[in-house]
Amino acid sequence: MHNKEQKSEGLSIKEISESLGVAEITVYKYIEKGLLVELEQPNLKYAINGQRLFTTQSVLNLKERMTDTKNHISLNAYAKEKKVSPELLKRIISNNGIVIPKGSHGLRQTYLISPEIRETLDQLIMANNFDHFRTKKNYFNSRHNIALLQSFLIEDGRTYRVMTEGQRWGFYTETGFTDFESITNAKPLYDIHKPTVKSSSYVNFSIPKNEKNAYSYVDAIYNIFGVENAQLILTEEHINVRIKMNSWNVANDSVHVQRLIELNNFTINGEIRLINQELHVISYDKRVVLVLEKEYHQQLSELAKKQNITDSRLAQKIIEEYLDKYQK
């Protein structure tokens, strides 16, 4: 009976862990720092199944110091989720004057991205990707007529892929990075050029570098679409690809077609389908052009500014919410 009365006055380490949303080992660190007040239990060491108990008030005091991170995400976790480097993310934040507040997760101070800031960053990262793709020199070197990750055969029978190091283009060999012009006997394994198709819509894929067939997918992309219709971004962990929407006759290229169908495992906003020996690139997203009167556009812009998102993103939200409500 005495133990039950004490139990009602305090919390166990397990209960504190659940209340604060941290691991039990972290709770012990709080105890070492003197952040939790333990209840006196003179007979604790003699009790069966005895537990250390800490005052509810000290737990509440600590909880008040901690930021509610349920709907927040750290910079590094967000960068990993969006498949961009932390350095690029920080540069986008700095260039756009975005302030990321610090929050406390227990004793640890970290920068936390709120849902509102996240919406803005989502748009900026997408815009950055399109800016990259618009600059062809980021993935194609016209001087040497080579493309990023293109496969070359060297005279000794070894295969290397085109990489960049700063402004330099070349290969990583056993002796380190070698400029392309330094290797006179490099022969491309395939042609990277195809007829340019007319399309303003694209689909996007993100291939993990540790995927065993990652570079086979790149070879298939270049062989079918060429640098005129497919572009690459190379990040620390992924190969991000954007492909123009269209259809291609691929009756005599079963090997590369199979690889491209497998690429659907890494889709972001579309898919590739094989229909009657034709490869179809299909986007899930559809673009709609809206023309607003000046008065309505001004209202939309003011509201978007208050929500810290772009005009187009707010217009998309309004339409989606209206359609959801209309369907119900």
**189-215 per-position pLDDT tens digit:** 999 999 998 887 788 888 989 999 999
* Alpha helices (runs of H) in the chain, residue ranges in sequence order: 2-9, 13-20, 24-32, 56-65, 75-82, 86-95, 115-134, 214-229, 254-262, 294-307, 311-327
Alpha carbon distance 243, 222 (integer Å): 10
Give the tens place of pLDDT for each residue, 78-90.
Answer: 888 777 778 888 8
Q: Which pLDDT value is given to residue 285? A: 62
Q: Which residues contact 25 (CB under 8 A, 6 or more apart)?
A: none
What does the H/E/C string look like for 204-268? EEEEECCCCCHHHHHHHHHHHHHHHHEEEEECCCEEEEEEECCEEECCCCHHHHHHHHHHHHHEC
Measured CA to CA in angstroms, residue 131 lies from 62, 119, 230, 242 at distances of 45, 19, 14, 12
Residue 33 scores a pLDDT above 60:
yes
131-172 residue pLDDT tens: 666 678 889 999 999 999 999 998 778 899 999 988 899 999
Give the residues across from 242 on adjacent strands. Answer: 204, 231
Strand partners, 238: 208
Whether residue 262 contacts residue 243, with contact meaning beta carbons closer than 8 Å, is answered with no
Paired with 111 in beta bridges are: 102
Percent of the chain exceeding pLDDT 70 equals: 86
Nearest to 129 by CA among 263, 242, 271: 242
How far is the CA of 219 from the CAs of 60, 131, 249, 270, 272, in angstroms?
58, 24, 17, 20, 16
Name the residue type at position 28.
Y
The per-residue pLDDT for range 233-267, each reduced to its tens digit, is 887 778 889 898 888 888 777 788 989 999 999 98
Cα–Cα distance for residue pair 55/57, rounded to 1 Å: 5
Is the pLDDT confidence value at 106 over 80? Answer: no
Supply the DSSP symbol for 118: H
What's the confidence (pLDDT) of residue 318?
A: 86
CA 159 to chain centre: 30
Residue 275's H or E segment, with its range, is strand 270-275
Distance of CA 203 to the CA centre of its chain: 16
Q: Are 186 and 152 in contact (CB under 8 A)?
A: yes
- Look-up: residue for tokens 């504190």? 16
In the predicted structure, residue 7 carries a pLDDT above the cut 50: no
Q: Could you report the per-residue pLDDT of 42-53, keeping only the tens digit for each?
A: 776 655 456 888
Q: Residue 271 has which token pair?
A: 């898919």
